[in-house]
């Protein structure tokens, strides 16, 4: 039985992280009450929600909508009203030493957008049809392409928070896109790790990551697995079958195919774990790449349910403790029937 297995420390060759697998930890009692609310995304009144159709004037400016030029939109990409970075290029032009001073300070220039995934307050991403989810993915793609035109942008991070325990402050279904003036730490570390793997084996780590034991499902262009060294219980990766550098290389057919697999994975998590809070992140490649990196960089989408918080051990060591072995999580998720 899995629960009597010995703990193991596994290293992920893609994200370069170490994870302790420890089934015994699942049995800890708690004298605090449950942290996640029963319904992580309560359908609070749409009257007060700026993301709802008809409330567009309460939002920060729109960047574009899909379909174009219609009041009956399906997806809107808007500026974030409380942006972490400033899109005003003046803040870099006006400084003597704009990019990087000797203290390691970079001016906080960048873009921070919100993608409203549906006009209706009570619709979650997984309620949409595969081609409607495909439209959300097309919005990501178009926005990434726009952001790449700016010379100071080096990396674009797309992510979604669902539920308060996953960090969401708004309950209306949405995701976020940030255009960054740096290549962030996880991306540098993933690049080195993938490079090292390539030099050792002559292969791309993501092309090799698929195994029968870890596989959950597959579609024409993608497969989904629980990664070998998942940091979070029931973490899922959706990976393009063909070696592909950047998320925004997706064509329209593939966005629908990915929409279908993403919907299926979200429904399986929701069914198995009772609509848990979750995050997803698109791990793509930096805007500027050297040809020598092409053979080993490969984008993927990571979904992490937030079932328990982290504590001082994870903050201190950077090493996560996961009570569920990936083979067991994959086997459970393969079986979940979502009709």
Ligand X SMILES: Nc1ncnc2c1ncn2[C@@H]1O[C@H](COP(=O)(O)OP(=O)(O)O[C@H]2O[C@H](CO)[C@@H](O)[C@H](O)[C@H]2O)[C@@H](O)[C@H]1O
49 is in an annotated binding site: yes
The interface partner of residue 114, options being ligand X, its own copies, none and the CB cut-off 5 to 8 Å by kind, is ligand X
- Give the nearest residue (CB) to ligand X: 311
Residue nearer to its own copies on the CB measure, 66 or 91: 91
Catalytic residue, candidates 112, 124, 162, 174 = 174
Q: Provide, rounded to whole angstroms, the least separation between the CB of residue 44 and ligand X.
A: 12
- State which residue, 41 or 107, has the beta carbon closest to ligand X: 41
Binding-site ranges for ligand X (CB under 6 A):
28, 50, 58-60, 78, 80-82, 114, 161, 167-170, 174, 176, 308-314, 321
Q: Residue 109 contacts by C-beta under 8 Å, 6 or more apart in sequence?
A: 85, 86, 87, 88, 89, 91, 92, 98, 152, 181
To its own copies, the closest distance from the beta carbon of 83 in angstroms equals 6
Residue 4 Cβ, how far from ligand X at the closest point, in Å? 17
172 is in an annotated binding site: yes
250 binds, among ligand X, its own copies, none (CB under 5 to 8 A by kind): none
78 makes contact, choosing from its own copies, ligand X, none, with CB < 5 to 8 Å by partner type, with: ligand X
Instruction: Answer with the entry of ligand X, its own copies, none that 58 interacts with (C-beta below 5 to 8 A by kind).
Output: ligand X
Looking at the Cβ atoms of 77 and 216, the one nearer to ligand X is 77
C-beta of residue 138 within 8 angstroms of C-beta of residue 280: no
Phi/psi for 96 (5° steps) reads -65, -40
174 annotated active-site: yes
As a whole number of angstroms, the distance between CA 260 and CA 164 comes to 25
The C-alpha atoms of residue 132 and residue 269 are separated, in whole angstroms, by 20
121 is in an annotated binding site: yes
d(CA 115, CA 143): 10
Task: Indicate if the alpha-carbon torsion angle 252, 160, 213, 245 is positive or negative.
Answer: positive
What is the sign, positive or negative, of the torsion defined by CA atoms of 184, 187, 191, 192? positive
Which does residue 185 bind out of ligand X, its own copies, none, counting CB within 5 to 8 angstroms by kind? Answer: its own copies
What are phi and psi for residue 86, nearest 5 degrees? Answer: -100, 130
3-state class (DSSP) for residue 201? helix
Q: What does each C-alpha distance from 296 to 99, 189, 305 come to in angstroms? A: 29, 13, 28
For ligand X, which is the closer residue by CB, 185 or 312? 312
Nearest-approach distance from CB 317 to ligand X, in angstroms: 9
Residues pairing with 275 in the sheet: none
CA atoms of 121 and 126, how far apart (whole Å)? 13
φ and ψ at residue 279, rounded to 5 degrees: -125, 150
The minimum distance between CB 11 and ligand X, in angstroms, equals: 18
- The helix/strand/coil state of 62 is strand
- Residue 162's DSSP bridge partners are 278
Helices (H), 185-228: 185-201
- Of 314 and 338, nearer to its own copies (C-beta) is 314
Annotated binding site: 49, 52, 121, 172
Annotated binding site for Zn(2+): 49, 52, 121, 172
Q: List, by residue number, the catalytic residues.
A: 174
């Amino acid at each position: 039985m899995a629960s009597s297995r010995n703990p193991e420390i596994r290293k992920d060759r893609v994200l370069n992280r170490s994870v302790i697998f420890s089934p015994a930890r699942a049995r800890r009692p708690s004298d605090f009450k449950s942290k996640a609310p029963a319904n992580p995304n309560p359908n609070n009144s749409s009257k007060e929600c700026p993301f709802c159709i008809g409330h567009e004037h309460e939002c920060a400016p729109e960047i574009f909508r899909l379909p174009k030029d219609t009041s009956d939109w399906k997806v809107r990409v808007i500026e974030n009203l409380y942006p972490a970075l400033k899109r005003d290029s003046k803040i870099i032009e006006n400084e003597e030493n704009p990019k990087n001073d000797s203290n390691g300070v970079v001016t906080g220039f960048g873009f921070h957008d919100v993608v409203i995934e549906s006009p209706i307050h009570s619709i979650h991403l997984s309620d949409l049809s595969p081609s409607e989810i495909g439209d959300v993915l097309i919005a990501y793609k178009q926005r990434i392409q726009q952001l790449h035109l700016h010379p100071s942008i080096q990396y674009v991070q797309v992510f979604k928070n669902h539920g308060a325990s996953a960090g969401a402050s708004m309950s209306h279904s949405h995701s976020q896109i940030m255009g960054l003036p740096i290549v962030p730490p996880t991306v540098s570390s993933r690049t080195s790790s993938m490079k090292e793997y390539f030099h050792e084996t002559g292969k791309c780590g993501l092309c090799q990551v698929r195994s029968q034991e870890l596989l959950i499902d597959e579609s024409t262009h993608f497969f989904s697995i629980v990664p070998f060294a998942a940091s979070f219980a029931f973490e899922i990766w959706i990976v393009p079958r063909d070696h592909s550098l950047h998320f925004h290389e997706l064509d329209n057919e593939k966005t629908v195919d990915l929409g279908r697999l993403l919907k299926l994975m979200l429904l399986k998590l929701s069914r198995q774990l009772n609509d848990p809070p979750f995050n997803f992140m698109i791990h793509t490649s930096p805007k500027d790449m050297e040809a020598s990196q092409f053979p080993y960089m490969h984008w993927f989408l990571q979904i992490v349910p937030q079932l328990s918080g982290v504590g001082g051990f994870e903050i201190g060591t950077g090493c996560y403790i996961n009570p569920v072995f990936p083979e067991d999580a994959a086997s459970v998720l393969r079986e979940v029937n979502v009709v």
